[in-house]
Amino acid sequence: MNAYFPKRYIIVFLTFICTCVCYIERVGFSIAYTAAADAAGVNQSSKGMILSTFYYGYACSQVPGGWAAQKIGGRRVLLLSFVLWSLTCAFVPLDPNRVSVLVIARLLVGVAQGFIFPSIHTILAQWVPPHERSRSVSLTTSGMYFGAAAGMLVLPSLIKFRDPQFVFVVEAFLGAIWSLLWFKYSNDPPRSDHPKAAAAGFGESYLPTTGNEKAILENRGQSVRTSKIPWKRIMCSLPIWAIVVNNFTFHYALYVLMNWLPTYFELGLQQSLQEMGSSKMMPYLNMFLFLNIGGVIADHLITRKIMSVTRTRKLLNTVGFIVSSFALMALPLFRTADGVVFCSSVALGFLALGRAGFAVNHMDVAPRYAGIVMGISNTAGTLAGIVGVDLTGRLLESAKAARLDLTSPDSWTTVFVIPGSLCIFSALMFLLLSTGERIFD
């Protein structure tokens, strides 16, 4: 493969497949568990508890994942995490009545997958030069939504013709295949002559450099292994907090829709997922398209010097989050499956566009500590999953207690107004506090 493609392209493509498989697993569990739980008569609050358990484990391993990737290398940490969650999926029974088994299994999968994105950001900061950064990160992260779209398209049919447990078998198989590909085709980045090399913007060596700039890069690459992580500066940095807040909001909206759209279609609209055909995958396919479009636009604006890095990040983040906020708030007004698919597609598509703002900003402000900053940021995003998914179940149970039918828009209004309001707040935070300049060397 190296004879035809630069090594960094292979790495980026494999990380794209990695995120794709991860989100097939997440969507797959939501679909399979919803089918099994509804058949067993599990209430909405209990469903919310099980669906949110994953995020407790996921939150616990984000910062340790960034630290581990920084110290022993993102490539090794990424492989280990994939093997662990795949084995868990292979051996866990999907029985809604065995609550303790499901809770432990989802915690283990969450912990294992929590190492993935900090490792990926460490790897990309090492491999990808700045002028390719937006589209590379966008392609990698768009795998999440391509995987979610594929899962929404294929997995309901697997459940219909086989059973919910078979979804776990498919997920474990995909995880094993990716692990073998990563083991065979990945390796440490350029000038990483020590297994503990950390993210210091090694990809910048692909750019034309003068003699002085080469010396600077050499010193930076050698000093990173002995430098201490500036935890206090990171935690007190307002631009970092702008990223954290937007990551929280992005994942609040994403996880609520990912985990509760199947319930909204089934109970809110009385529409079976199996009967919806390919339309149910459109929200996630839209995210895949918009995220890559955002990456290309960002790199074009920056490399052609049409806009500064700071203004480019703020523009894409603001447009994405503001449009998404209106679409989220309008979603319960649509009373047909096609209307909900359209509205959720707009909401998730523009949220994905916003990722070309806040998500790439990790490597703008702190390329050396991209895995660490991503771990902190993704911890906030994971907490959003815990809060949002569980809170939605409680809101729906409260609506039922108030004698509101779940087919009524009033039962779902608060569910979607909350993330819509958060989008407006986060967009303002990013406008006021963010920067595209490097603030950690």
Residue 438: inside a domain, yes or no?
A: no
Per cent of the chain over pLDDT 90 is: 30
Residue 440: inside a domain, yes or no?
A: no
Place of tokens 């995909």: 174
Residue 1: inside a domain, yes or no?
A: no
Domain boundaries, position 19 = 7-433
Read off the pLDDT of each residue in 166-172 and give the average, rounded to a whole number: 90
Residue 138: inside a domain, yes or no?
A: yes
**Does 217 or 181 have the greater pLDDT score?**
181
Residue 98: inside a domain, yes or no?
A: yes
Domain count across the chain: 1
Q: 262 falls in which pLDDT band (50, 70, 90)?
A: confident
Residue 292 has pLDDT above 60, yes or no: yes
16-50: per-residue pLDDT in tens? 999 999 989 988 898 888 888 888 888 877 887 88
Question: Which CATH number characterizes residue 231's domain?
Answer: 1.20.1250.20
Residue 430 has pLDDT above 90, yes or no: yes
Output the pLDDT for position 135.
81
Residue 274 has pLDDT above 80, yes or no: no
Cβ contacts of 209 within 8 Å, gap of 6 or more = 217
Output the pLDDT for position 188.
76
Residue 2: inside a domain, yes or no?
A: no
198-223: per-residue pLDDT in tens? 334 444 443 333 344 444 444 444 44
Residue 439: inside a domain, yes or no?
A: no
Output the pLDDT for position 207.
38
Cβ contacts of 238 within 8 Å, gap of 6 or more = 433
Residue 1 has pLDDT above 60, yes or no: no
**Dihedral of the alpha carbons of 267, 268, 270, 274, in degrees to the nearest 10:** -70
Cβ contacts of 26 within 8 Å, gap of 6 or more = 54, 148, 151, 258
Output the pLDDT for position 2.
54
Residue 268: inside a domain, yes or no?
A: yes
Per cent of the chain over pLDDT 70 is: 87
